[in-house]
Amino acid sequence: MDFSNESSPIKKPTQRDVRMQGLAASSGIAVGRALRLDEKGRQQIFYVVVSSNQVRSEVRRLRDAITEARAQLEEIRSKLVRELGIEHSYILDSHLMMLEDERFQAELKQEIRARKINAEWAVRAVTDRIVSAYKQVQDSYLRERSTDLEDVAARLINILSGHTKFNPEELNEKVVLVAEDILPSTVAELNFNNVLGFATNSGGLTSHSAIIARALNIPAVVGLHDITLKIKTGDAMVIDGTAGEVILRPTKPLIRDYLEKSEHEAKRPTNSATRVAEPTMTIDGVRIKLRANLELPNEIVSLPLFGAEGIGLYRSEFMFLNRLPNLPDEEEQCLLYSWLAESAGDAGASIRIFDLGGDKLSLQGFEGEANPALGMRAIRLSLRVQEIFKTQLRAIFRANMQGNLRVILPLVTTINELREAKKIIEEVKRDLKNERVKYNPNTKLGVMIEVPAAAMMADLFAHESDYLCVGTNDLIQYILAVDRANESVAHLYQPFHPAVLRTLAHLVRVAEAENKPLEVCGEMASDPVQAIALVGLGVRTLSMVPTSIPLIKNALATIDCSSVRELMTKALKLASADEVQELLSKELPNQAPRLVAALASQS
């Protein structure tokens, strides 16, 4: 880009070298001028009370808007398939599924009829209620799905109001997009040739925007908090998507350095030759299973594309979240779980019992809690509201005729919770048998290790269940007493903290002693160095977002497992996360020289 181009409508920078640190959402370097977008493309909407005679007209407007939104999303989906391949179309599939959800549509219409209001306000009100429920969920991946619903709602409101938002297809100059957030469908609509990168205030590494950016090889940094307040359209900027850094108004020498770096990276070979279908093996022949974390049924098409060996974690609460306050019945759940069983093949699927609080399900007697993370949720709620638990169990047992489905109990803290759950499971089996309903009585039962109490009691849990599954996201938060979403203390969320590593090593020893499988399904599994550390500790099955599997497969193929195990034995004797990171930074390149090249090829 020519920064001296006076004829450009973009203004010259006025300040120099402001550095901002965010989350490295998509690697690579972008050097260009900023185009600042309005906040999420949202516009102000108004509350309008309509007469009884106008209610039918508002419902009709809503119906027409849904039809138009469907057409727009299908067009964007077709473009994604053309540009990126079918494996990324599931992102728009999830938008279409949200839009087409009969209960969502029914709730919108009911909002109009009951409150006699305009369709725009009904969309906003219903969406805000559902998004509020999403944001209370502990699982970060699920929390970020609220962005997808916001995306669908924004499209509906734009259509209803006739508002014309920024059209990314009309970009005729190469720019770096800067926004509070960039909705997934906006990313999908981009003229890929004219967007150098993007930087946002919010967003996470598992957001669909970040996933699409990685697929497009567009450098992106998210979670910058207030970049929109520090930059204006026309300012020069650098995005270092590998380091998660943004530099506003860089000096000319710095621009020159980054342009050279960008050219150097462009010459690196791509990683398109990843052999996803081959089993994952370390250099010394240790077999590692890489499974997928899913919550949308449509994502199941991504399993063979990324080389996943079945589903390590299916977050069933997504089905519930989409239906609040009404819950799917046994038949509907059975149909979905049967599809999972059929699609997952011999490697199978592990279904996590729904992990929500009672207030989110609008259950009678449940109010909002001051601290829902430590409140009535997950297995605690299932044991309290047994009808919901039993319905889900019946559906899973009936769907598991191939014997490849498993059940995981979340947030188990006491052995009594496991025993009570097993008693209910036996009641469900007895009922099915008495009703002469076909079901699988041998469905495997796992326990999620997410709290320190469960980790300390893991030998008992392993003894009384079929396998253990470690959710590192929650386990690390609870061990270190850190809310990683709280920016004041997020730096204390340390996967390499010795207490975390010692806990994981303890869990591996317990599982080996009890001869029970141990799987890790938290975000540690998606980071190459952390995944290597887990393998060094003895973990042999990792589950992650499907798009991370090729990266982890390549990284693990560069290591000698016995050497990494010796390295982690040293790490377990260190006193701080910094010391562990220093050890790994120093030793891993020596022990696995191919690792550096493998990671660099992904950059």
Assess contact for 569 and 317: CB atoms under 8 A.
Answer: no
Q: Residue 576 CB: number of other CB atoms within 10 A?
A: 12
Residues 6+ apart with CB under 8 A from 356: 133, 137, 317, 320, 321, 377, 378, 381
Distance CA 387, CA 176 (A): 52
Distance CA 239, CA 250 (A): 11
Pairing of strands 195-200, 29-36: unpaired
Structure-block tokens of residue 434: 């008495």
For residue 15, give the 3-state DSSP assignment.
coil
Which residue has 């007469």 as its token pair? 51
Assess contact for 559 and 282: CB atoms under 8 A.
Answer: yes
For residue 295, give the 3-state DSSP assignment.
coil
Element of type H or E holding 448: strand 444-449
Nearest-CA neighbor of 167 among 338, 37, 359, 333? 37
Assess contact for 238 and 24: CB atoms under 8 A.
Answer: no
Structure-block tokens of residue 391: 């319905």
DSSP code per residue over 371-417: -GGGSSBHHHHHHHSHHHHHHHHHHHHHH-TTS-EEEEETT--SHHH
Assess contact for 602 and 27: CB atoms under 8 A.
Answer: yes
Catalytic (active site) residue 521:
yes
Assess contact for 373 and 138: CB atoms under 8 A.
Answer: yes
Distance CA 87, CA 93 (A): 11
Q: How many contiguous H segments (helices) and E segments (strands) does the chain have? A: 25, 17
Whether omega before 325 lies within 30 degrees of 0, making that bond cis, reads yes
Assess contact for 535 and 285: CB atoms under 8 A.
Answer: no
Distance CA 475, CA 412 (A): 12
Element of type H or E holding 238: strand 236-240
Which residue has 């997934």 as its token pair? 184
From edge to edge, which strands make up the β-sheet containing 220-222? Answer: 18-21, 245-248, 236-240, 29-36, 175-179, 195-200, 220-222, 23-26
Structure-block tokens of residue 11: 């203004």
State how far the alpha carbon of 244 is from the alpha carbons of 20, 82, 199, 298, 475, in Å: 9, 29, 10, 30, 25
From the list 88, 334, 469, 521, the catalytic residue is: 521
Residues 6+ apart with CB under 8 A from 163: 43, 157
From the list 88, 95, 208, 497, the catalytic residue is: 208
Q: Which residues are catalytic?
A: 208, 521
